[in-house]
Amino acid sequence: MVEAFAVASGKGGTGKTTSTLALGMALAERYDVTVIDADTGMANLLFHAGLDDADVTLHDLLVADRDVAVDAAVYERFGMSVVPCGTSLTAFEAADPGKLRDVVTELAADTDVLLLDSPAALGSKSAVLPVVLADRVVVVLQPTVPSLSDGLKVQEYARSYGTETAGVLFNRVRPDEDVAAISDQAARYFGGTTLASVPESDAVRAARRAGEPLLAHAPTDPAADAFHEAAGNLEVRAGDAAGVADRFRSAVVPDRP
């Protein structure tokens, strides 16, 4: 079985990378999880996962005439299979985003849950592809009206490509914020459910500095609890791996009207 989720948001800095790794670790308690840094232009998952010195990354898999096997860019870390992406602008420019389809197809054959850490701006082909490839999208938001508005655009974009919303994950929630009111609005406008509200937490920043996912660095922090709750609320659907692989392989990125 496999289901692919894009972890996406309207803007950078909402916590997509943090959430991808935290959800990945929480889901890895029940599933075989593969996490991919599909934010190929602004890759930073490697810094969150202690993989800054990784020799082979997703960029090496996206070049024309590649001679490295997909496996060479898969690192077993924190109970998950992690595919980091490099940070070189030259490598990004040399990469063919369309090749992400083949890589995801191959990875889908051997995992239960695929999490695609996705780019923020949805304007370009490389940015939109993870959302197109995914079965469902997890929208990461702050509990504010402007952030909801950004998230709705992500959902609209995803739907235009046939990708449904798995749920909304509120992140960086401060004690004085009225999540309940915003959450009511989110329930009205978004598909899926509110997965959890993750508090603003020093432990999240400390984990990043230590190059570890939050659930490895501070497994009992309230933010870690919230990510566990979110993972528990994500009901993973058992897609047939061969069917999913076919869909990935044939996914086209339509031009925007």
The residue assigned the tokens 């890895």 is 28
| Contact between 201 and ligand ADP per CB under 6 A | yes
Quote the CA–CA distance of 70 and 52 in Å, as a whole number.
Answer: 18
- The least distance separating ligand ADP from the CB of residue 255, rounded to whole angstroms, comes to 27
Question: What is the rounded distance in angstroms from the CA atom of residue 5 to the CA atom of residue 136?
Answer: 5
**What's the N-to-C CA distance of the chain in angstroms?**
34
Identify which of residues 16 and 217 has a Cβ nearer to Mg ion in the complex. 16
Q: How many CB atoms lie within 10 A of CB 78?
A: 18
Among Mg ion, ligand ADP, none, residue 136 binds (CB under 5-8 Å by kind): none
| Minimum CB–partner distance for residue 182 and ligand ADP (Å) | 16
Residue 40 binds ligand ADP (CB under 6 A):
no
Residue 236 binding partner per list ligand ADP, Mg ion, none, with a CB distance cut-off of 5 to 8 Å that depends on partner kind: none
* H or E, element range at 131: helix 125-133
**197 near ligand ADP, judged by CB under 6 A:** no
Task: Give the one residue of 59, 77, 136, 208 binding ligand ADP; rule: CB under 6 A.
Answer: 208
**Nearest of 136, 154, 110, 115 to residue 37 by alpha carbon:** 115
Q: Pick between residue 16 and residue 59 the one whose CB is nearest to ligand ADP.
A: 16
Q: Binding of ligand ADP at residue 12 (CB under 6 A)?
A: yes
Task: At 139, list the tokens.
Answer: 């929208």
8 A C-beta contact, residue 198 and residue 164? no
Applying CB under 6 A, among 134, 169, 204, 244 the residue interacting with ligand ADP is: 204
Binding mask 37-76 for Mg ion (x = CB under 5 A): -------x--------------------------------
Q: Are 180 and 139 spatial neighbours (Cβ–Cβ below 8 Å)?
A: no
Sequence letter at residue 132 = V
Pick one of Mg ion, ligand ADP, none as the site partner of residue 14 (Cβ within 5 to 8 A by kind): ligand ADP
**Interface with ligand ADP: number of residues (CB under 6 A):** 18
Cα–Cα distance between 129 and 41 in angstroms, integer?
A: 12
Under rule CB under 5 A, residue 17 binds Mg ion: yes
Helix axes 202-210, 222-233, angle to 10 degrees: 90
The residue among 109, 41, 39 whose CA lies nearest residue 70 is 109
211-230 residues near ligand ADP, rule: CB under 6 A: 223
Contact, 136 vs 165, CB < 8 A?
A: yes
Binds 49, which of ligand ADP, Mg ion, none (CB < 5 to 8 A, cut-off by type)?
none
Which of Mg ion, ligand ADP, none binds 40 (CB below 5-8 Å, type-dependent)?
none
Please choose, from the candidates 175, 256, 238, 169, the residue with its C-alpha nearest in 3D space to the C-alpha of residue 4: 238
Answer yes or no whether residue 14 interacts with ligand ADP by CB under 6 A: yes
Residues that bind ligand ADP (CB under 6 A): 9, 12-18, 44, 171-172, 198, 200-201, 204-205, 208, 223
Residues that bind Mg ion (CB under 5 A): 16-17, 44
